[in-house]
Structure 1
Amino acid sequence: MKILFAGTPKTSSIILKNLIDLGHDVIGVITQPDKKRGRRAIESPSPVSEIARSNDIKQYKPTNLNDLEFKNSVSNNEFDVLIVVAYGKILPKWLLDLPNIMPVNIHFSLLPKYRGASPIQSSLLNGDTETGITFIKMTEGLDSGEIIHKDIIKIKENHNKLSLEDDLVNLAIINIDKLFSKLSDKKLTLIKQKDELATYCSKINKEDSFINFNMRSIEIYNIFKAFIEWPLTKFIHNNIEIIIRDMYVSDDISNAKPGTILDFSKDGLSIKTIDSAIVITHLQFPGKRTIGPKDVYNSYKSFFFNN
């Protein structure tokens, strides 16, 4: 089958590379335009763009998906399947209508649960015990197309956004052959999603990263795991924004007020929550490097206790 691929981040690039390594005929790639990245704001291509370049695959980087030049160029291609993995924009109908067989979206949740931009983070935030991948026939609606195939994975207690994402990408790769086998079957049965069971997840914002200690400890821990890559987990102390770099939940049962510092030692900073406590082992102050419990204890004891 001839494939046109649409994607942008690292997760997409891993799946693209797998398709190439397996010998699939990827005739072109649609990805986001180069962006300025890092402190030096150097313009850099997306991870998908880099994989395409290293394999001499034609690239499209439209700023407007309805641009006439882009539309004419893509429409001149003959291909069977459009595979979309985290491209970053809603694709117009004319593009979805181009493939001879169908457009396929690889989504990192068990649809119709978590339609939208942050399914991995949402599964962690809500403390789910399982998630998975869903291959759907793409439509103009938000992740609402008919289901081609899905597979389930258990969410481990120590899963965070990065590790769960890695496992879901691997799960998608394992199921790629099943996808193409089903697409080759002229008697393929698609399963309509039950819209009444649909839940939605929005794009993550910087403001979502702030916690307060009136939350339950497990809620804070789930936020920490979900936002470990971005936007990180933060709290305010003495009007300073502090990033939690590592932590765990403690079973403290004291009657102290939420936000009270219960213990401060070379093992970590214990802070009371509404139901127990969390222990912060690594943190980061603005403009500073991440520091561990011994450095925090030796350098910031007065900061945390003079409040």
Structure 2
Amino acid sequence: MITSAVFLGSKKFGLSLFKALYEADPTISWTILCPPDLNDMRTCFSEFQDYAKLEDIDLLIANSPAMIEQYVLDNKPEVMVVCGYYRILSGRLIENVKLGVWGIHNSLLPKYRGGSPLVWQLINREKVIGSSFFKFTNGMDDGVILDQVKIENAEKMTIGEASDSVERAWISKIPEIWVNFCKGDIHLTEQNHTEASYCALRQEADGLIDWKLNATDIDAFIRAQDAPYPRAFFTLNEKVVKIVSHSIDSREIYGTCGQVFQIIDKSVVICCGGGTAIQVSKVLSDGSIVDASEILNSIKIRLR
């Protein structure tokens, strides 16, 4: 049986996962290492603090990978679980956790190893997306897999819907997995490294829309970066304008890619590649959500 464990994370999914782990076996002495992440809109740092106080769990602010490593070396927890922490953990740390460092990677490993895997799955219009509970190694997301969850028919989801679906699937599944893990009743699956694919970490600037793509690909691109992520955007007169709501225009429309084709009431139709178009309804500009026609108010406008 496990007596001591560490959880590392600060995001909403991490908090839900930790609650499920803690409640599955409250006899384990946990410590939460929580990065403050105050500049990240997805942070749940204060919620972690509230839950730790409620359950009388030790919580330490994890300001750096060096601090996390030192804590592990000094305290030697039996197991460590990571969810929503995106900085590299040292090999020295990994090697000094008796039962290993385990974590959630939001892809069906070995596919989509690397950064922003759920976003990339939506951008690529995968019909089935997933998430893996796996063991950390010195490599890139290449450790043995304890379990996975799959979400069917995901090609029309937003990133928020996809994240929530994955979270719900894990919260339903993780208590039984964790109880068996603590008993040593585990069945591990080696990854087939020949089937691996990789994805790069995305930044807010990567959300710039390429209007030369067809409307189906642009639709997926927008949904993949919807709230709570920073959203896909275009620029107009050097101002960033983010798309809040949109749809694919079913008509065959030819025009210069990025051209405003038509203003329909409060929505705006924008030409895309291959004779396709996107109808934009709401946009975020200067901190306010407004009708697209307030910003794109002329068919002379050409977005680049």
Establish whether TM, by shorter chain, passes 0.5. Answer: yes
**1:250–1:279 Cα contact (<8 Å) kept:** yes
**2:271–2:278 Cα contact (<8 Å) kept:** yes
Q: Aligned equivalents of 2:92 and 2:48: distance in 1?
A: 23
Q: Indicate which of 162, 175, 178 corresponds to 1:177.
A: 175
Q: Indicate which of 86, 89, 93 corresponds to 1:88.
A: 86
Q: Aligned equivalents of 1:95 and 1:49: distance in 2?
A: 24
Q: CA deviation at 1:134?
A: 1.0
The correspondence of residues 1-307 of structure 1 with structure 2, limited to 5 A, is 1-2=2-3, 3-24=5-26, 25-33=28-36, 35=38, 45=45, 47-67=47-67, 73-77=71-75, 79-184=77-182, 186=184, 188-229=186-227, 230-266=229-265, 268-275=267-274, 276-285=276-285, 287-292=286-291, 296=293, 299-300=294-295, 303-307=297-301
Q: CA deviation at 1:84?
A: 1.1
Q: CA deviation at 1:234?
A: 1.1
**1:205–1:231 Cα contact (<8 Å) kept:** no
Q: CA deviation at 1:152?
A: 1.4
Equivalent AA in structure 2 for residue 220 of structure 1? I
**Alignment length (residue pairs):** 295
- Determine helix, strand or coil for the equivalent of 2:65: coil
Q: 1:290 to 1:34 in 2, by over 3 A?
A: closer
Q: 1:174 to 1:187 in 2, by over 3 A?
A: closer
Q: 1:197 to 1:50 in 2, by over 3 A?
A: farther
Q: Aligned equivalents of 1:197 and 1:258: distance in 2?
A: 36
Structure 1 unmatched runs, 5+: none
1:19-51: CA deviations, max 9, x gaps? 23344335101221463578xxxx994654443
**2:126–2:155 Cα contact (<8 Å) kept:** no
Q: Aligned equivalents of 1:35 and 1:113: distance in 2?
A: 31
Normalising by structure 1, we get a TM-score of 0.85
**1:8–1:88 Cα contact (<8 Å) kept:** no
Q: 1:241 to 1:65 in 2, by over 3 A?
A: closer
- Determine helix, strand or coil for the equivalent of 2:298: helix
Q: Aligned equivalents of 1:56 and 1:181: distance in 2?
A: 21
**2:69–2:90 Cα contact (<8 Å) kept:** no
1:85-128: CA deviations, max 9, x gaps? 12222222333234443321121110011112211101100000
- Determine helix, strand or coil for the equivalent of 2:148: strand
Q: 1:49 to 1:22 in 2, by over 3 A?
A: same
**1:256–1:272 Cα contact (<8 Å) kept:** yes
Once the two structures are overlaid, the 10-residue window that deviates more, 17-26 or 194-203, is: 17-26
Q: 1:20 to 1:148 in 2, by over 3 A?
A: closer
Equivalent AA in structure 1 for residue 195 of structure 2? L
Structure 2 unmatched runs, 5+: none
**2:105–2:131 Cα contact (<8 Å) kept:** yes
Q: 1:73 to 1:273 in 2, by over 3 A?
A: closer
Q: CA deviation at 1:261?
A: 2.2
1:40-74: CA deviations, max 9, x gaps? xxx9946544433443321233434335xx65644
